[in-house]
Every structure is written in C-alpha cells, then in structure tokens.
Amino acid sequence: MRRALLGALAIVCLPWLAAATGTVDDVRYKIKSNDGNLWADRYRAGRLMRGQCGRRCIAFTFDDGPNWETTPRLLDELDRRHLRATFFVTGHRMDGDGDVALRNREVLARAWRTGHLVGNHTYHHDLMDTMDEPTLRFEIDRTEALIREVIGVRPFLFRAPYGALHHPRAVREVFSRGYTPVFWAMDSNDWRVNSAQGVYDNVIAELARSPNGGVLLMHDTLPWSVAAFPRIVDEIERRNAAFIARGEAPYEIVGLDRFYTPLVPDARSPSAGTATPRARPRDREMTNAPDTSHAGRCRGVVGRHRQGEDRAGLQRPGALPK
C-alpha cells in the first residue's frame, strides 16, 4: 500500500520535477525533455492538437518510421542533447517475422525505452478519407496492436497520413477509440528536397512564418532530414542566446504535453487508472483548440480545423507529402 502511494505521488509530481530540473546552461535558457513512458496514458481523448504556440516553443515530431537504417542516428542525436520527440509510426514497417520488421521493432523499443512518445500513423499510410469502415479499422487497430506488442501499452496519440482527417467516417473511427489527433504548425517539407541544407532552409523559413514556433513535422525515414536535425537545434540555440541577451523569452523545446487538453476533464485512463490532468491556462493558450465535447461533436472539431487548414499546416490535395 505504501509503495503504491509513493508511486502515485511520483507520477503526480513528475511534471513539476521535470520543469524544475530541466537542462539549464550558462545563458539561462531551458530545453525541456518529456518522459513519454510516464505521460503516454495521459494523452487519452484529447482535443485536436493544432500545434501553434502562444509563446516561443518547438515540439519535434517524426513520421513514417521506424526505419532501422535512419532512425537510430536520430535517436543518438536526441540522446546526446537530452531531448525528447514524438514518433508517429506506420504498422507495415513492423509487421511480420522478416529481418527488416524485427529490426524496426527493436528501433521502436529503443525509442520508447529512452522516453520518446509514440503515436499511431496507420498501417499503410494511405488517405483515410477514402477508406470504408473495415479498412479504417484495420489501419488503426493493426498498427495499435503492433505498437502495443513492442512497448507494452497502447498509444493515444494519432496523426492521419498527409494530415487529412476530414470525412466523418474517418473522424469517428479515430475519436471513438480515445485517440488525440495531432497536426502541426510548421512543416519541414523534407520530402520535397533531397539534402540536409534544403530541410534546414525550409525550417528556417517556417520559423520566419511562425515566429512562436509550434509542432514541427519531419520524417525520420529520410536520411537528409535526420542529418539536418542537429543544425536545426544548433540554430535554435544560437537564437536563444541572442534572445536572452536582449532580455526576451527563448524557444523551449517541449513535448506534446504542452499542447494537450482533455475533451472531458474528468476522463480517466483505463490503463493508468488516474485522472487525466486538467488543462492549465497555459495549455489552453498553447493548443488554441476549439471548444468541443467528445466523440459526439468530433465532426465539428475537424470541420473547423479544415477551414483553417493552410494556417494550421495541413496539406491541400495536390500537395501531399510522400
């Protein structure tokens, strides 16, 4: 009993402790890590994350992996810098008993062990809005099962391929499972280029367009995008030093907990058995998400999101990433 109470106290105190003990360097700016292993269950049934920041912050998200040839290099760099990211993974890369699938599952296991968040990115990475219900269920549920087999818990974060989640049928299948959809405010467009310099230039242009930053979309399956990541972080650090020298707030590199707001404040995670944290005023400022109820009104959430899809970072038909 005593051990259980101590464990519960540790989980409740985790966000405060993380904020108090983040990595602080000589110029007094902080890069915060996010422990995905302890936060995972708390992303259940959240409002759609658009990805804009109310003040300077950046959350790195990587899609389409895991890829045993490229993702480990990114994990090495994240570990070296004591940073945490979110990986939205596709089921087809991990399914089966082949050598590639086994290696990819090992990569996902490593990402989870080192504290990164994991989200569902469907099985085949096809357009969900064109799928019938049986196909949608397979795409979501099979990937969820594969993730659970590797990391031991189900994911609650979801990113639709191409950021396309508009059809009521697709929306219903996502929200009815308690997923929190995640979009982005900045797009590296790394699939449009074939060099680290190109990815770097795209991200710098996005920061100029969105000075407060936000959720950044990249792909850990592209070697040039992985190669660009250290340069991007170095540039953020350079800018932070200049911000601090001018007495301005720096960028914080944050996890998706900064953007999470529960649809139902009193919802409880079935696997964790603890209350989903109530959104703080700062979180509501960060998410900039519409006010809505749970699955019964999920169509309205995505419908309003679609009206501002260019601003929110969605791709229009004809400009879909690979």
Q: Catalytic residue numbers?
A: 63, 219
Whole-Å CA distances, 107 to 88, 91, 113, 276, 313: 13, 13, 10, 29, 28
Mention every residue, 6+ apart, whose C-beta is less than 8 A from residue 285: 54, 55
Per-residue CA distances from 243 to 27, 58, 127, 246, 297 (Å): 10, 15, 41, 5, 41
Distance, in Å, from the CA atom of 75 to the CA atom of 226, rounded to the nearest integer, reads 10
- Structural contact between residues 310 and 186, judged by C-beta atoms closer than 8 angstroms: no
Listed in sequence order, the residues at least 6 apart from 208 whose beta carbon sits closer than 8 Å to its beta carbon are: none
**Are the CB atoms for 166 and 316 separated by under 8 Å?**
no
Q: CA-CA distance, 196 to 182, in Å (whole number)?
A: 25
